[in-house]
Amino acid sequence: MEKKNIKKIDLATDISKETGLSLADSSEIVDLFFSILSDGIAKNKEVKIMGLGTFSVKHKNERVGRNPKTGKEAVIEARNVISFRPAKNLKDSLN
């Protein structure tokens, strides 16, 4: 399997080619999309994108962890993390 990172400029280029919009307009659309996505997640809301999946914020409680090299215990602070749950059709397309 070929590994390829997709950058925002790649998305903007693809949108530009598919729609005929200028690269500047396509870049603005991509930036706006990610801004809206980030704002929704930052407000602790679920962001559902049909056919792709759901982004949500989950709270992780404080816990005791262990350094794998030394075995020394350390407290891992409570924190919020971003969770992504893929849509069924996305999971099905991978198999």
pLDDT digits (tens, 9 = 90+) for 9-35: 999 999 999 999 999 999 999 999 999
Q: Against a cut of 0.75, is the pTM above it?
A: no
Q: What is the pLDDT of residue 45?
A: 80
Does residue 52 sit in the same domain as residue 62?
Answer: yes
Domain count along the chain: 2
d(CA 30, CA 24): 10
Place of tokens 């679920």: 46
Of 81, 84, 83, 85, nearest in space to 60 by CA? 81
Q: What is the pLDDT of residue 16?
A: 94
Q: What is the pLDDT of residue 1?
A: 56
Does residue 13 sit in the same domain as residue 25?
Answer: yes
Does residue 6 sit in the same domain as residue 50?
Answer: no
Residues (pLDDT < 50) of the chain are none
Q: What is the pLDDT of residue 94?
A: 84
Percentage of the residues of the chain whose pLDDT score is greater than 90 = 77
